[in-house]
Chain A
C-alpha cells in the first residue's frame, strides 16, 4: 500500500522563553525525539499518550502547521520540509482536513457555511459547493441543522459539523486532535462511529490523537507516545465496531 504519510526520524525542539526578545534562547525543550511513522491510505490510526507526550506536536507536524527541527515528513508523496509557506498552505488546503478539540467553527457562519469554507478557499464554484456541502452534512446526519449557527448546536453537533468541514473537500488525510475530549460519552461514541464509518465508506485516512479509551477500543492501529518518543505501534486488526 502507498504511504499517505511518511514521518522519518523527526525531532521538534521548542525554545524556552527567557523573557527577552533580543537575546537568543539559552535552553530548549524537546517535544518529539526521533519519531518515525508510516501511515498508509485508508488507515484509522490513533496517537495515544499522556498529556505532554507530544501527540498534538506530531499532528501539527504531519498537518504542516509546524516544521520539525530535524527529519523529514512526506504527505501524499510530497516532501514538506522544503516547501515555502504558500506551498504548505496549498498542501493543507487540498490534501488535509482538520478536526479540533474545541471544534473551532467560525461563530458567525451557519453550519453549512462553516462546511462550505474549505471549498470557498479552494475556489470551487458555488453550485458545486452547495452540492458538496449538502453531501457532507448528510454524511454526518446534520442536514436539518444546516442553517443553524454554532451557538445553537450541541457540542456533539458542533463536532460533527467540524468533521463535515474536514471531509467536504475530499482530502487525502483527516487529522483530528483530541476530537472527543470535549464531548460526553454519548456524543463521543457517536463521533467515533461517524469517523469510523467515513473511514470505511469513503476510504478516508484518519489520524487522531486521543487518550480516550472508548476511542482506542475501536481503533485498528495505535501509536503510543511517551515523552516525545514512540514507545509502541500496535495493530489490533479491526475495532469491535463497524
Chain B
C-alpha cells in the first residue's frame, strides 16, 4: 500500500504544469470558501452578540404556562416568586446578571388623543449591569433613582403620533391583573429610535416598579439571564434546567437562539448563499479534475496496459487513480488553507471597510474569522470532489483492453 501511495504521489508530479494548474483551481476554491465563510461567520457573530446585548440576553426564563395558554388577565401566566428564582440563578457559574421584565399593553393618552402601546417594564440597574443598550434618540435612559415622577421611554413614532417631546407628561391606562382598569401618569425621559417603524410606533418602556404599580401585580413575564460568554450558554442552560426541575411553578428556559428571529433568518439566508457557493466550487473542481484525470489516463494508456498485463487487479488501477485524486485534493486543501488563512489575516490587518448595509449609516468592517469547522468542511469538499472526479477516469482505465493499451502510441 505504501508503494502504491508513493506511485500515486509521484504520478501527480509527472506533469507539473498541469498539476499546478489543478492545485491553483482547487486551492482557490478552498481559499474562496474560507474568505466568504469567515466573513459570514463574522457577520453572524456581530448579529448574535448585537441581539444578545440589545436585550435578548443569553437565556430567558418563563413560566411553562406562558407557552401553553393565552393570558386571561395580565401576568396571570407570569413568574410568581421571581426574586427567589433570580437569586438562585445569580448564584450559578458564568452568570453575569439577571434582569426581570414585564410585557404588557394598554392605552397612552396626552389628554386629547389616545393610542395603543406595547409596553415593556425593566429594572434599569439590572439592564445596565448586563450592558443592554437602548437606542435613545433624545433625552436619557430610565433611571431607578428618579424621584417623584414616573419615567417612560417611548418610541419615536409614538412620540410623533402623540405630539410629545422629552419632559412632557402622558397617562397610561392598562388592565390590572385582577381585571380592573388602572392608570398612572408618566413623564417622558427619552425617545427611542430602533430603526423599525412598526416597533417605534407602539414602543413604551417604564420601570418594573412602575409597571407593577400600574398592573397591581408582583409577578413578572420573564427573567433575562446574561452570561460571561455566549459559548457557555448550553452549559448554563443544562445547569439551570436541572436546578429548577420539580419547582412548584414549572419554569421553562429558552436559549437566545430560540428567541433570535432576525439572527435565525439571516443565518438561514447566508447559509443558503454559502451552500450555493460551495456547490459552484464543488462543480468546478469536479469538472476540471475529470478533464485533467482523463487526459492523464490517455497519456498513461500503455503503462496501464503494462500493469494489467503483469496481473495487476483492475481494482488496483481504480484505487491508484482515486488515490492520485485524493492526494491531489489533500495537497489542494493544504495549499488553500494556507492561502485562505494568510489572506484572511492580511484582510483583518488592513482593516478594510465595506459600504454601510441597508438601514445603517455606519460602514461595515470586512473582517474574516478563522473558523476551524469551515477549514475542515471546505477541505473535505474539495477532497471529495476530486475523488469523485477520478471515478470515471479510474473505471475507464481499469477497463482498458490490455492488447490495445499496449499498442497505444
List the interface of chain A (C-beta within 8 A of B).
60, 63, 65-66, 85-86, 89-94, 96, 98, 100, 102, 104, 106-109, 113, 116-118, 120-122, 165
Are B14 and A121 within 8 A (Cβ)?
A: no
Which residues of B pack against A, CB within 8 Å? Answer: 3-4, 7, 10-11, 14, 302-303, 305-314, 316, 402-403, 406
Q: Is the CB of A117 within 8 A of B14?
A: no
| Minimum Cβ distance to chain B for residue A223 (Å) | 20
How many Å lie between the Cα of A116 and that of B7 in the bound state? 12
Do residues A92 and B310 form an inter-chain contact, with CB atoms below 8 A? yes
User: Once the chains bind, are A108 and B10 in contact (CB under 8 Å)?
Assistant: yes
In the bound complex, how far is the Cα of B309 from the Cα of A60, in angstroms? 9
Contact of A65 among B10, B303, B402 (CB under 8 A): B402
Q: Are A66 and B402 in contact (CB under 8 A)?
A: yes
Of A89, A100, A108, the residue contacting B311 (CB under 8 A) is: A89
Q: Would you call A100 and B314 a contact (CB within 8 A)?
A: no
For A96, list chain B residues within 8 Å (CB): 311
Q: Which residues of B contact A90 (CB under 8 A)?
A: 311
Please, which residue of chain B has its CB at the minimum distance from the CB of A177? B406
Nearest B residue to A165 via CB reads B310
* Residue numbers in A under 8 Å from B7 (CB-CB): 106, 108-109
Is the CB–CB distance between B302 and A104 below 8 Å? yes
Are B303 and A89 in contact, CB atoms less than 8 angstroms apart? no
Whose C-beta in chain B lies nearest to the C-beta of A89? B311
Let me know if A66 and B302 touch, CB within 8 A: no
**Chain A residue with the shortest CB-CB distance to B13:** A108
Q: How far is the CA of A122 from the CA of B314 in the complex (A)?
A: 14
Please state if B403 and A92 are interface contacts (CB–CB under 8 Å).
no
B406 touches A100 (CB 8 A): yes
Partner of A89, one of B3, B10, B314: B314
Given contacts A100-B306, A108-B7, A109-B7, contact A118 B311 (CB under 8 A): yes
A65 and B311 within 8 A (CB): no
Contact residues in A for B316 (Cβ distance below 8 Å): 121
User: Within 8 Å CB of A85, what residues of B?
Assistant: 314
Contact B403 A65 (CB under 8 A): yes
**Cβ of B311 and Cβ of A93 under 8 Å apart?**
yes
A108-B7, A108-B10 as given contacts; A66 in contact with B312, CB under 8 Å: no
B405 to A: closest C-beta gap in Å: 9
Give the docked Cα–Cα distance between A194 and B56 (Å): 87
Structural contact, A107 and B14, CB atoms closer than 8 A:
yes
Pairwise interchain contact A66-B403, C-beta atoms closer than 8 A: yes
Assess A108 versus B406: contact at CB under 8 Å? Given A89-B312, A89-B314, A98-B310: no
Complex contact B313–A65 (CB within 8 A): no
4 closest A-B pairs by beta carbon, nearest first, are A93-B311, A108-B10, A65-B402, A104-B306
Q: Which residues of A contact B302 (CB under 8 A)?
A: 102, 104
Chain B residue numbers with a CB within 8 Å of A118 are 310-311
Instruction: List, sorted by A's number, 6 A–B pairs whose CB atoms are closer than 8 Å.
Output: A60-B403, A65-B309, A65-B402, A65-B403, A96-B311, A108-B11
B34 to chain A, nearest CB (A): 32
In the assembled complex, how far is the CB of residue B106 from the closest CB belonging to chain A, in whole angstroms?
Answer: 83
- The answer to whether B308 touches A89, judged by C-beta atoms less than 8 angstroms apart, is yes
On whether the beta carbons of A108 and B14 are closer than 8 Å, the reply is: yes
Give the residue name and chain of the A residue nearest to B12 (CB). Answer: A108
Residues of A within 8 A of B10 (CB): 108-109
Q: How far is the CA of A93 from the CA of B310 in the complex (A)?
A: 5
- Please tell me which one of the listed residues A63, A92, A93, A116 contacts residue B3 in the complex, with CB atoms under 8 A apart: A116
Contacts of A106 in B (CB 8 A): 7, 303, 306-307
Set of chain B residues within 8 Å of A86, measured between Cβ atoms: 313
Given A66-B402, A108-B10, A108-B11, A121–B312 Cβ distance below 8 Å?
Answer: yes
| Separation of A48 and B251 alpha carbons in the complex (Å) | 97
